Homo-oligomer: A and B are copies of this chain.
Amino acid sequence: MTFNLTILGSGSATPVLDRHTTAQVVTLEGDYFLIDCGEGTQYRLIENHLRPGRLKYIFISHLHGDHYFGLVPFLSSLNLSGRTDDLWLFGPRGLWEIITVQFRYSDTKLNYPLHFQETDPHQPTLLFDHPNVTVETIPLQHRIDCTGFLFREKMRKRKLIADKIPADLPVSFYRHLKDGNDILDDLGQVLYSAEDYTLPAPRPRSYAFCSDTRYNEAMFDQIRGVDLLYHEASFLDDMEALSEKYFHSTARQAALTAVQAEVGRLMIGHFSSRYKTTDEFLVQARSVFPETYLAIEGETTEI
């Protein structure tokens, strides 16, 4: 099953031409999940050949503009394009008011059902139970209410070993085996053991999105062991005091988080525009956690 992350924006709030504001797409099989939606995100989707109409779920971390200014434009464009499919939106208190006031004055009636669920910034909450994945909020420490999002792939069924399956085994028994149950005879003896006829399900993968936040020990237990952690790294060591003041993190603090939470890989982004290049972010983070990578716009990573 594909479980990928595509970066649409790696920059922070100050506008520059070579980095866009935050937006990412998680693709899980055929489903697209949009995380944050900075100004112009709809154009990034088009540029990256991600068909906007396939998006079903949108998650907004907080109401600083570089994380949501592209949302109402995107919702409007979906309407113009004739969308009728349901769309689910998860975000902070206030987001619904921001949307509805604009639609009221533009006299916009959506042709598609838009479902909104408010996030709780104070405690981890199961937000969404999808057939293939669950999404939990991660409380972050920022200047205003802010949550990250934790995607946990669900345990899948065991896989039948096609060559071993006896030709006369009724198809209705396949499901038993894939569920890990043995097939017994009338006396309760094992006829076909799940162990023999199936392979274990692949290990479920997980992705944690954490932006924007101060170095935040409170979340370590929740994100422990995720395969991929995206963590903001707005600043380098030289700006640690400023970073602290604005409730942001340095590359080194993102890497420390990755170490403490024992994650598989770390991706850093949300780079301040005061840095013209990002090489030093990688240097400082890798000195603490070698498996660090830069968020690069247009690039897709397997989770």
For this complex, into which size category does the number of interface residues on chain A fall? 35 or more
Q: In the complex, which residues 60-113 of chain A have their Cβ closer than 8 Å to any Cβ of chain B?
A: 63-65, 69-70, 72-73, 76-77, 80-81, 92-95, 97-98, 101-102, 104-107
Are A107 and B144 closer than 8 Å at their CB atoms?
yes
Docked-complex contact A77 and B14, CB < 8 angstroms: yes
Residues of B with C-beta under 8 A to A81:
14
Q: Which of B15, B98, B107 contacts A77 (CB 8 A)?
A: B15
Bound complex: CA of A13 vs CA of B15, how far in Å? 22
Chain B residues contacting A169 (CB-CB under 8 Å) are none
A129 in the interface, Cβ–Cβ < 8 Å?
no
B43 near A17 with CB under 8 A, answer yes
Interface pair B17/A46, CB less than 8 Å apart: yes
Q: Mark A101-132, 1 if CB is under 8 A from B, else 0.
A: 11011110000000000000000000000000
Residues of B within 8 A of A39 (CB): 39-40, 42, 70, 73
State whether the Cβ of A143 lies closer than 8 Å to any Cβ in chain B. Answer: yes
Q: Could you tell me the distance between the alpha carbons of A64 and B64 in the complex, rounded to whole angstroms?
A: 22
A196 interface residue (CB < 8 Å to B): no
- Given A65-B102, A144-B107, A42–B70 Cβ distance below 8 Å? no
Please name the residue on chain B nearest to A62 by beta carbon: B106
Nearest residue, chain B, Cβ from A52: B15
Q: Is A47 an interface residue when CB atoms closer than 8 A count as contact?
A: yes
CB distance from A68 to the nearest CB of B (A): 9
Q: Hey, which chain B residues are within 8 Å of A17, CB to CB?
A: 43, 46-47
Q: Nearest 5 A-B pairs (CB), nearest first?
A: A94-B105, A63-B105, A69-B73, A39-B73, A40-B40
Instruction: Give me 16 A-to-B residue pairs in the complex whose CB atoms sit less than 8 angstroms apart, sorted by A's number.
Output: A14-B80, A16-B46, A17-B46, A39-B42, A63-B102, A63-B105, A65-B72, A65-B76, A69-B69, A94-B105, A97-B101, A97-B105, A98-B101, A98-B105, A101-B101, A107-B144
